[in-house]
Amino acid sequence: MYFEHPLKILKYSAKNIWLLIFPLLRGIYTYHFDKNWFYSWAKGAWFDIAVLGAIIIFGFVRWFFSRIYFTDEELVHRDGVFLRIHTYIPFRNISSVTVERPIYMAPLRAMRFRCDTRAGIFKTVDLKLLVSDKTRRHIMEHMLDIDAKEKIEGIPQPNVWSILMFSIFFSSGFSGTVYLATFFFKGGDIAYNIISRSLNIITIETAKITEKLVLKIPTAAIFIGVFFYCFVVPFISCESFQIRQIYH
Amino acid sequence: MKQYYPDRHCLTTMRLIITAAVVIILWAVRYFIPIEKIVMLSIVVVISIACFEMFVHLPMFFNSISYSATETEVTKSSGVFIKVHQSVRYSSIQYTTRISSPLSQYTGFNFIIFFVYGGQLRLLFLKRSDADEIIRLSGSISVKED
pLDDT 10s digits, A108-134:
889 999 988 888 666 788 889 999 988
Q: Is the pLDDT of residue B82 over 60?
A: yes
Distance CA A202, CA A71 (A): 68
CB of A120 within 8 Å of any CB in chain B?
yes
pLDDT at site A70:
82
Residues of B in contact with A78 (CB under 8 A): 144, 146
Assign 3-class secondary structure to A203-231.
HHHHHHHHHHHCCCCCHHHHHHHHHHHHH
Are A73 and B144 a contacting pair at CB < 8 A? Answer: no
Sequence-separated contacts (24+) of A49-54 with Cβ below 8 Å: A51/A19, A51/A20, A52/A17, A52/A20
Asked if the structure places residue B13 within a domain, the reply is yes
The model's confidence at residue B144, banded by pLDDT at 50, 70 and 90, is very low
The percent of residues in chain A predicted with pLDDT above 70, rounded, is 67
Asked if the structure places residue B146 within a domain, the reply is no
pLDDT at site B15:
93
Residue pair B132/B141 in contact by the 8 Å Cβ criterion: no
CB of B17 within 8 Å of any CB in chain A?
no
Asked if the structure places residue B99 within a domain, the reply is yes
CB of A78 within 8 Å of any CB in chain B?
yes
Helix A172-186 to helix A188-213 angle, to the nearest 10 degrees? 130
**Higher pLDDT, residue B97 or A173:** B97
Are B141 and A85 a contacting pair at CB < 8 A? Answer: no
CB of B96 within 8 Å of any CB in chain A?
yes
Q: Is the pLDDT of residue B70 over 70?
A: yes
CB of B113 within 8 Å of any CB in chain A?
no
Asked if the structure places residue B70 within a domain, the reply is yes
Instruction: Give the domain range for residue B7.
Output: 1-141
Give A59 to chain B, closest Cα distance, Å: 19
Q: What is this structure's pTM?
A: 0.64
Distance CA A113, CA A98 (A): 6
Across chain B, what does the average pLDDT equal? Answer: 88
Q: Is the pLDDT of residue B47 over 90?
A: yes
> What is the rounded average pLDDT of the residues B53-79?
90
Asked if the structure places residue B84 within a domain, the reply is yes
Asked if the structure places residue B59 within a domain, the reply is yes
Are B117 and A90 a contacting pair at CB < 8 A? Answer: no
Q: Is the pLDDT of residue A196 over 70?
A: yes
Grouping H, G, I as helix, E, B as strand and the rest as coil, residue A233 is: helix
What ipTM describes this predicted complex?
A: 0.78
CATH number of the domain encompassing residue B135 = 2.30.29
> What is the rounded average pLDDT of the residues A164-177?
72
Q: What's the total number of domains in chain B?
A: 1
Across chain A, what does the average pLDDT equal? Answer: 77
pLDDT in tens, A227-238: 777 767 666 666
pLDDT in tens, A31-52: 666 667 677 777 777 777 788 8
Q: Is the pLDDT of residue A96 over 90?
A: no
Q: Listing from the earlier edge strand, what are the strands of the sheet with A110-117?
A: A94-100, A110-117, A127-132
A49: Cβ–Cβ under 8 A, 6 or more apart, which residues? Answer: A42
Residue pair A74/A89 in contact by the 8 Å Cβ criterion: yes
